[in-house]
Structure 1
Amino acid sequence: MYRVVQFTGPRQVEVAELPSRALGPGEVRVRTRYSGISAGTELTAYRGTNPYLTKTWNPATRLFGGAGTAPSQSYPIPGGGYSEVGEITEVAPDVDGGPAPGDLVWGIWGHRGEATVPAGTVRPVPEGVDPLAASFARVGAVALNAVLAASPHLGELVTVFGQGVIGLLVTQMALRSGVQVIAVDTLERRRDKATEFGAELVLDPMAGEVAERVREYTGGTGADVAIEISGSYLALHEAIRTVTTGGRVVAAGFYQEEGRGLRLGEEFHHNRAELVSSQIGGVPATLSGRWDQARLNETFLCLCARRVLDPVSLVTHVLPPSRAAEAYEVLDTNPAGALQIVLDFEEDQACPPSPARNS
């Protein structure tokens, strides 16, 4: 038996016990150590706003179906995570030259204490990478993909809207690319972290119009690039207002429902802004000959090993799975109370909660 965290309905979380199954051909068994919670994608399933819960996604046509079609997902939704680290405990007899028992690996198998997965879907945690840092492999790839889509040039000014976990990783990466960064977020704790990482200027959108302040900072021209990672249509509209004439806006958030507050007949139309979508399902088309998802993941972990990036400093809570409902409630109702929450499946549920890290 093993534990799995699942959503049984909107804002309903439980930890279930499921039976282990025998390995199939080409499979390995992994015992989970860490599983990071995504405060973006996972909250859409937690809140019930994810389009997969109301529409059918057709992978052949790459279109969502409308009324009368069955949704692609329904509750319960087990093990919704996508950034896991664990130890190989068993390998199918036909797996040769791949993962071996005792190997520390990362992959995507969800918030579950154990998983049986194809051997080719797990990757070794590189030497020198903290296992907690390895639990960021997928969200780190999301951030890196957004930066690649932005294509910042040395000396340019990039405005990053949203300084949650992925936004702060974007800020770190953009700064390592030799650009100046203006970080935008409503929460002081996140703005302070962006300043710590080296953001040139931090702005609170609740304190006034961001675009006007960016233009004042740049002598009237605006930012070269804006990356919107919060998933807010209001922030996307402001990102469009922020860039200079012909500037690029990368929409990397997971936007829900209708685009309230997004007015494309205004600055988008008059300033001829370039609007680019970034989503982890693929890399920018111009880079597809050199980059793929595997390279995104490997590059992020390599940067962690070289101490170029510091994801572990974003971990504020390490909790046992028994407190998963509490974790989602905090992320949903009190985002200022946490940055990255990680579930530790090796932590005894009877133990007191782990102290916050780098909070």
Structure 2
Amino acid sequence: MPHIVQFTSPHRVELVDADPAVLTSGGVRVATWYSGISAGTELTAFRGTNPYLTSTWDSERRLFVPGEPSFAYPVRGWGYSEVGEVVEVADDVTELAVGDVVHGIWGHRSDAVVPAAALAGRTLSAEVDPVLGTFARVGAIALNAVLAADVRLGEQVAIFGQGVIGLLATRLATLSGGRVYAVDTQPGRLSTAEAFGAAATVDATRPGGAAELIRELTHGGADSAIELSGADRALHEAVRSVVVEGLVAASGFYQGGAANLRLGEEFHHNRVRIVASQISGVPVALGGRWNQTRLVRTVMGLIVSGDVDARALVSDIVDAQDVAAVFERLDHGDPEILQAVLRFDAAPRPTL
């Protein structure tokens, strides 16, 4: 019997039985090996704060409006960082074969039928650690944020939030030629940021805020900032940290209000530009050349080559039936957990 991760109600997640997916024309059946947990997005489902769970998304007007929530508990199959083995192909599929290892988006489930077209260019060779495939989506989010911040050779960029995506952004911005100032509250993450190429690290809990030290270290302010923690206070400090007409890429998933974001102070007087970075689209200026496929291809090329050591970010690989314990740790802010990966029964057994 296949299994699927289900958010049953706020603060309750479990692995439950699911019906086998039906193989359809143009599709392949994938037996999931690994599925990475995206702590920021998925905690909104675990906690019940995701706007899709509290309001209606009007896709035509692109507005959240009062009404029946777009999603309701139980919510099944969230997740967007999967790796697995093709175990069955439809008769009309020629580009994939049984035995291929692929990465893609099909949610935390042991059995999935995925359109073969969605897996184009997403195979992993036998010599590649399959766990690396779980970084395709989060890596694309990080790269999109770096592109949104317009990081260029020789420029200084402050990156707020050194979770998995923030650390990937730190490495990618460094590879782009930027001088990175990494900001976080956890010493362990700041240490990893240094290993990933940060020129300096800043403890976000310091008196006066991170921006004051960033302005001192950069001799006047960062050219740009990327905010990935999803905290409004961090976004405010990002605004405070950049030069006049500096650019802030707001890339976190912000929940609720923004009482700590003050727009009458540095934002107003320094004419700071704030742009939203979200994975459904690339920066407008790059739309003719970049898309999600190119983001994934680029970041996976860097990961497979070793230029981005994504494997160093994996703190936990746990059996899927232990999903509840993982989310409890994430919800309580366990400093020892970074990238948690669910392992399904079909997976080979790796060593950390």
Q: What TM-score comes out, normalization by structure 2 length?
A: 0.96
Secondary structure of residue in 2 paired with 1:136:
helix
Q: 338-347 vs 313-322, which deviates more?
A: 338-347
- For 1:105 and 1:236, how far apart are their aligned partners in 2? 36
For structure 1, the residue ranges without an aligned partner over 5 or more in a row are none
- For 1:179 and 1:286, how far apart are their aligned partners in 2? 20
Letter in 1 for 2:309: D
State whether residues 21 and 112 of structure 2, in contact with CA within 8 Å, keep that contact through their aligned partners in structure 1: no
Alpha-carbon offset, residue 292 of structure 1 = 0.5
**1:284-334 per-position Cα deviation (integer Å, ceiling 9, x unaligned):** 011010000111111111111221111111001000011100111111103
- Counterpart mapping for 1:279-318 below 5 A: 279-318=278-317
- Counterpart mapping for 1:239-318 below 5 A: 239-318=238-317
Alpha-carbon offset, residue 19 of structure 1 = 2.1
Alpha-carbon offset, residue 118 of structure 1 = 1.6
Give the RMSD, CA atoms, in angstroms.
1.5
Alpha-carbon offset, residue 347 of structure 1 = 6.8
Percent identity between the aligned chains? 52
**1:109-136 per-position Cα deviation (integer Å, ceiling 9, x unaligned):** 1110110122212243344542111111
Match of 2:216 in 1: 216
Letter in 2 for 1:256: Q
Letter in 1 for 2:77: G
Secondary structure of residue in 1 paired with 2:42:
helix
**1:5-36 per-position Cα deviation (integer Å, ceiling 9, x unaligned):** 11001110111011213312222100000100
Secondary structure of residue in 1 paired with 2:39:
coil
State whether residues 29 and 88 of structure 1, in contact with CA within 8 Å, keep that contact through their aligned partners in structure 2: yes
Answer yes or no: is 1:88 the counterpart of 2:60. Answer: no
Secondary structure of residue in 1 paired with 2:325:
helix
Alpha-carbon offset, residue 205 of structure 1 = 1.2
State whether residues 159 and 183 of structure 1, in contact with CA within 8 Å, keep that contact through their aligned partners in structure 2: yes
State whether residues 129 and 301 of structure 1, in contact with CA within 8 Å, keep that contact through their aligned partners in structure 2: no
Q: 131-140 vs 117-126, which deviates more?
A: 117-126
Match of 1:157 in 2: 156
State whether residues 234 and 261 of structure 1, in contact with CA within 8 Å, keep that contact through their aligned partners in structure 2: yes
**1:80-125 per-position Cα deviation (integer Å, ceiling 9, x unaligned):** 1100000000111122x22111111111111101101222122433
State whether residues 32 and 346 of structure 2, in contact with CA within 8 Å, keep that contact through their aligned partners in structure 1: no
**1:152-184 per-position Cα deviation (integer Å, ceiling 9, x unaligned):** 111111000000000000000001011111100
**1:245-301 per-position Cα deviation (integer Å, ceiling 9, x unaligned):** 110000000000111201111110110001010000000011010000111111111
Answer yes or no: is 1:100 the counterpart of 2:100. Answer: no
- For 1:216 and 1:298, how far apart are their aligned partners in 2? 37
- For 1:189 and 1:329, how far apart are their aligned partners in 2? 20
- For 2:310 and 2:12, how far apart are their aligned partners in 1? 29
Letter in 2 for 1:50: N
State whether residues 249 and 276 of structure 2, in contact with CA within 8 Å, keep that contact through their aligned partners in structure 1: yes
Letter in 1 for 2:55: K
State whether residues 161 and 167 of structure 1, in contact with CA within 8 Å, keep that contact through their aligned partners in structure 2: yes
Match of 1:178 in 2: 177
Secondary structure of residue in 2 paired with 1:193:
helix
Match of 2:187 in 1: 188
Q: Sort the Cα spacing of 1:156 and 1:21 in 2 relative to 1 into closer, same or farther, 3 A.
A: closer
Match of 2:137 in 1: 138
- For 1:145 and 1:342, how far apart are their aligned partners in 2? 23
Match of 2:228 in 1: 229
For structure 2, the residue ranges without an aligned partner over 5 or more in a row are none
**1:201-242 per-position Cα deviation (integer Å, ceiling 9, x unaligned):** 1111112221111111123x1111100000000000000000
- For 1:152 and 1:33, how far apart are their aligned partners in 2? 35
Answer yes or no: is 1:115 the counterpart of 2:112. Answer: yes
State whether residues 331 and 337 of structure 1, in contact with CA within 8 Å, keep that contact through their aligned partners in structure 2: no
- For 1:129 and 1:88, how far apart are their aligned partners in 2? 16
Q: Sort the Cα spacing of 1:191 and 1:314 in 2 relative to 1 into closer, same or farther, 3 A.
A: same
- For 1:294 and 1:153, how far apart are their aligned partners in 2? 22
State whether residues 126 and 305 of structure 1, in contact with CA within 8 Å, keep that contact through their aligned partners in structure 2: no
**How many residue pairs get matched?**
348
Q: Sort the Cα spacing of 1:62 and 1:129 in 2 relative to 1 into closer, same or farther, 3 A.
A: farther
Alpha-carbon offset, residue 194 of structure 1 = 0.5
- For 2:151 and 2:72, how far apart are their aligned partners in 1? 40
State whether residues 245 and 273 of structure 2, in contact with CA within 8 Å, keep that contact through their aligned partners in structure 1: yes
Q: What TM-score comes out, normalization by structure 1 length?
A: 0.94
